[in-house]
């Protein structure tokens, strides 16, 4: 069951980005899920599913936002345990 989140924003914000309402909404949804992934609150698979894209497409989207998909701390731990 899907839930809806409403966000109030001034109309000029979307206009200044040269976006219509639907594109602006998609941008907000994308950026929120990228940030939630970045801070470790959702997995790449979950974010991809919510955005209705493949996991690979989501990982490629991370590049647009300059967010890495490898956790350096996890890599260091794996190397130390190897």
| pLDDT tens track for 53-73 | 999 999 999 999 999 887 655
The pLDDT value given to residue 69:
83
Range of the domain at 43: 14-81
Kindly state whether residue 3 falls inside one of the protein's structural domains: no
Q: Tens of pLDDT along 4-30?
A: 999 898 989 989 999 999 999 999 999
The answer as to whether 73 is a domain residue is yes
CB atoms closer than 10 angstroms to residue 40: 8
- The answer to whether residue 20 sits within a structural domain is yes
Question: Is residue 21 assigned to a domain?
Answer: yes
In a domain, 43, yes or no: yes
Q: Are 62 and 37 in contact (CB under 8 A)?
A: yes
Q: Report yes or no on whether pTM surpasses 0.85.
A: no
pLDDT at 75 over 60: no
How many domains is the chain built from? 1
């Amino acid at each position: 069951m899907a839930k809806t989140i409403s966000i109030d924003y001034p109309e000029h914000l979307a206009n200044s980005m040269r976006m219509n309402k639907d594109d602006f909404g998609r941008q907000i949804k994308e950026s929120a899920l990228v940030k939630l992934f970045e801070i470790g609150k959702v997995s790449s698979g979950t974010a991809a599913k919510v955005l209705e894209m493949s996991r690979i497409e989501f990982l490629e989207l991370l590049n647009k936002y300059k967010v890495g998909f490898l956790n350096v701390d996890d890599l260091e731990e794996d190397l130390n345990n190897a």
